Chain A
Amino acid sequence: MPTILTVDDSPSVRHVVKTVLSGAGYTVIEAGDGAEGLAKAKSTPVNMIITDLNMPVMNGLELIKNLRKVPSIVGIPIVFLTTESSDGTKQEAKAAGATGWITKPFKPEQLLAVVSKLVRK
């Protein structure tokens, strides 16, 4: 089963992502900020990464940039969560190497739709 890493400083968002995705059969691992996310992505093989943008320590943009420098992460889908649906943020994140985005608040089916779009079971 594909493994998905969720990086968010909000435990409640991580909880929802984990509940929804593990309910659909994915293995979900969590990280509370960018730095932790980077470390986990390096140490554990993952099939997809879902990250928040606004986070302490290392924000989502930096995380995405750093992740794309890791050889094993090249080609792995990285999706960011955003409440700002502004084009500026999206362009910035995509230029950093993000694959797609999910606008918060999201419904479980929307999350699943994006994940199944980007990860083949």
Chain B
Amino acid sequence: MIDLDAAAIYRQEAGELLDSLEGSLLDLGQTPADRTLVDQAFRALHTIKGSGAMFGFDQVAAFTHDFETAFDLVRRGTVPVTQDLVSLALAAKDHIRSLIETPDEADATVGRTILANLQILVARPGSIAEPPVEAAIAPDAGSSETAGAGWRMTIAFAPEVLRNGTDPLALLDELRGLGPCTVVALTDSVPDLGALEPQDLHLQWSVTLRGDCPREAIDDVFMFVLDDMKLDLTPLGVEPSGETVAAAAPELVIAESTPLPVASTPATPPEPQKARTADKVEPPRRADDKVSTSVRVQAERLDELMDRVGELVIAQARLSQLAHTRNDGGIQAIAEEIERLASGLRDTTMGIRMVPIGSLFARFRRLIHDLSRDLGKPVEFVTSGEDTELDKTMIERLADPLVHLIRNAIDHGIENPERRAKAGKPPVGRIELLAQHVGAQVMVTVRDDGGGLDTTRIRAKAEEQGLIVPGTTLSDAEVHQFLFHPGFSTAQTVSALSGRGVGMDVVKRTIEALRGSIDVSTELGHGSAMSLRLPLTLAIIEGLLIRVGDSRYIVPLSMIEECVELPADQARGRNFLNIRGGLVPFLRLRDLFDAPGEPDAHQKIIITSVGDARVGLVADQIIGSHQTVIKSLSKLQSDATMFSGATILGDGSAALILDVAQLVAIGQLKAETETMTRAA
């Protein structure tokens, strides 16, 4: 009855629980006294274990059970939370994950080692050896008394059973199933009408059950109410007398009672119960506790939906174009309506794909925890802007670059505690991971309070590698760009963490492939910050449609500052424009793209900007804004660096999307050479 589908659901759920467990454990490392976190971790373990056994993940259930048993001592406050315990618990968590994801490869000795270490830590030998799961609905083991002839019994339920959902008649029916019964209702305790509480049960029953029936079978019938009822049970043939009954089955003769204040059952020590109730009073404050109603959808379906919406937007653009050429108000109204709907659908679809970046941030906490321990550099990890949303694909592709930047920040940025002490800094380093919206972009910053970038050393290294001629005038920002040059490293010692194959050049390339950019800011001795600027989405952008010669191009709207007319006296000659006192170089797209024919009489300049750099692009005509569905270029066109993609216009023809970052770089370079040739 339990299918593969359920196992998949379990895997996914367990994965999320393990993530949350990791979060709780890491938080616990910071605030060991936080009982809420211990409970959170415990709850996650509980569910992993319980469901694991149900879905046939027996190894998972067994290991988690042992782990949970030891961890229970922590929950009860018997064992304090220490860094060792947190590290061990994290290792156990990893082991559980491997048991779930790759059960065939999981190493049982790893599990045993973890448990052995855990046992030493909690110093309670024997506590781990309990059986993993109790048999469900197990009849109380103990007497296996049978009565060959049958039983005579008096049944008195607690008065509130009716309210609490027990149907005495159903239980009597069940009893009848065990053998031929004679049931007599006892009405002695039914009070007068005035005193009768309508929702209470006042009847009792006397039952004679004949046949060979073990007592467990009768206990089973009353299993849920056995503790709260009065059940006098005598084997047939034995005369009922209070004393014999009490001697034969003392645990069954329990005085009619509600919650048992029975001193003879020290089931659970009272302290943990109290501790837990006290915790519950504390208001939930962690984001994990937030509830949201959500639907799980496979990622591919979202991609498919986005594709479809893309096609729809293109088709809608064709419709609008066609409608404009017809002088038919009806068609035009419909076209406008569809345009509005398509744009709404586009926004909703993009919204569905947006995921808070917090899920990504959470992954790095473990990385930092491990790195900080391995390198002996205590580090505090601060995040903000976890709610900032980015396209799902973007978040996935951001993971590797961010890992690299964070690793660099700890490895090269944060100094060891002695050097920090000398510099008068707190011994614990600080890594910040921030996300925020900046216009139509998202900025993700990795900031450390370490030694900062040594601009002089980077420059010396660049000269040594022949990247610049010694003596060249370069701004600090330009010097820092060498960090992203392939094979460039100023690290004097290479640690195990450096050189994992992903260099800063790869980081830069990845970010640029996402149509983003990296800014570096640093202060020697006080730390540095790497800021990634990223577009919100990869699939559809707002673009400005322009015409150069016969061809049309798209400029991403987010990179445009303004559009101005090219003054007639500048139609030829000097490629600089004075904009409100600032000199902005411009590129003539006609020349760049070798467009045939004569330029239009009134050319326009689109001023674009990347970071601080501004460059104008001269076009023949500005057609208007355009919802641009980005289609990537094939490998064949991979050397066309000036374009980042293509799109399909309303009339079915294609337009190339300009890669503004590249054009700005080309423009700046041209401007420099021009200035230099002029100077020469």
Residues of A participating in the B interface, judged by any CB pair closer than 8 Å:
9-13, 15-16, 19-20, 23, 32-33, 35, 48, 54, 56-57, 59, 68, 74-78, 83, 85-91, 94-95, 97-108, 110, 113-114, 117-118, 120
Contacts and interface: CB of A to CB of B under 8 A. Distances in A.
Contacts of B166: 77, 99-100, 118
Contact of B50 (A74, A86, A104): A104
B268 A88 contact: yes
The A contact surface, by secondary structure, is mixed
Given A99-B224, A106-B136, A12 B165 contact: no
A10 B164 contact: no
Contact of B165 (A57, A77, A89, A113): A77
Contacts of B258: 95
Nearest to B284: A56
Contacts of A103: 134-138
B273 interface: yes
B170 A117 contact: yes
Contacts of B654: none
A-B pairs, top 8 by smallest CB distance, nearest first, are: A100-B224, A77-B165, A105-B53, A99-B165, A88-B268, A87-B267, A104-B50, A103-B136
Interface in B147-192: 162-167, 170, 174
Interface in B115-162: 133-138, 162
A75 B165 CA distance: 4
B498 interface: no
Contacts of A98: 164-165
Contact of A83 (B10, B49, B55, B138): B49
Contacts of A87: 227, 265, 267-268
B278 interface: no
B419 interface: no
Contact of A76 (B46, B165, B267, B268): B165
Given A75-B165, A76-B165, A12 B6 contact: yes
Given A103-B137, A104-B50, 13 more contacts: A10-B50, A11-B9, A20-B1, A23-B1, A87-B267, A94-B227, A97-B164, A99-B224, A100-B166, A103-B138, A105-B136, A118-B165, A120-B170
B636 interface: no
Contacts of B164: 68, 75, 78, 94, 97-99
| Interface core residue of B54, B227, B258, B273 (most chain A CB under 10 Å) | B54
Contact of A74 (B5, B46, B61, B199): B199
A104 B54 contact: yes
Nearest to B269: A88
B136 A104 contact: yes
Interface in B256-284: 258-260, 265, 267-268, 273, 280, 284
Contacts of A102: 136-137
A77 B481 CA distance: 70
28 contacts: A10-B13, A10-B51, A11-B13, A12-B9, A12-B10, A13-B50, A13-B54, A15-B5, A16-B55, A32-B291, A32-B293, A33-B291, A54-B43, A54-B46, A57-B289, A77-B165, A77-B167, A87-B227, A87-B268, A99-B166, A103-B135, A103-B138, A104-B51, A105-B136, A106-B137, A108-B1, A117-B170, A120-B170
B268 A83 contact: no
Interface in B1-45: 1-3, 5-6, 9-10, 13, 43
B609 interface: no
Given A12-B10, A83-B49, A88 B273 contact: yes
Contacts of A32: 291, 293
Contacts of A100: 166, 223-224
A19 B136 contact: no
B51 A105 contact: yes
B267 A15 contact: no
B6 A83 contact: no
B46 A83 contact: yes
A46 B134 CA distance: 30
B228 interface: yes
A97 B52 CA distance: 29
A50 B267 CA distance: 25
B267 A57 contact: no
Interface residues of B, number: 50
A87 B270 CA distance: 12
Given A54-B43, A74-B163, A97-B164, A16 B137 contact: no
B554 to A, nearest CB: 43
Interface in B218-277: 223-224, 227-228, 258-260, 265, 267-268, 273
A101 to B, nearest CB: 7
A120 to B, nearest CB: 6
A105 B138 CA distance: 12
B47 interface: yes
Contacts of A78: 164-165
A37 B52 CA distance: 24
A78 B224 CA distance: 11
B417 to A, nearest CB: 39
Contact of B134 (A13, A85, A90, A118): A85
Interface in B39-73: 43, 46-47, 49-55, 61
Contacts of B289: 56-57
B167 A15 contact: no
Contacts of B136: 102-107, 110
| Interface core residue of B2, B51, B259 (most chain A CB under 10 Å) | B51
Nearest to A98: B164
Given A76-B165, A98-B164, A118-B165, A19 B1 contact: yes
B69 to A, nearest CB: 12
Contacts of B259: 91, 94-95
Nearest to B53: A105
A23 to B, nearest CB: 6
A33 B49 CA distance: 19
B225 to A, nearest CB: 8
B6 A15 contact: yes
Contacts of A85: 134
A88 B267 contact: yes
| Interface core residue of A48, A87, A114 (most chain B CB under 10 Å) | A87
Contacts of A48: 165
A87 B261 CA distance: 12
Contact of B224 (A11, A13, A68, A101): A101
Contacts of A86: 267-268
Nearest to B134: A85
A89 B267 CA distance: 10
A105 B57 CA distance: 11
| Interface core residue of A91, A98, A120 (most chain B CB under 10 Å) | A91
A16 B268 contact: no
B51 A12 contact: yes
Contacts of A15: 5-6, 9
B165 A83 contact: no
A57 B291 contact: yes
Nearest to A101: B224
Given A12-B55, A91-B259, A83 B50 contact: yes
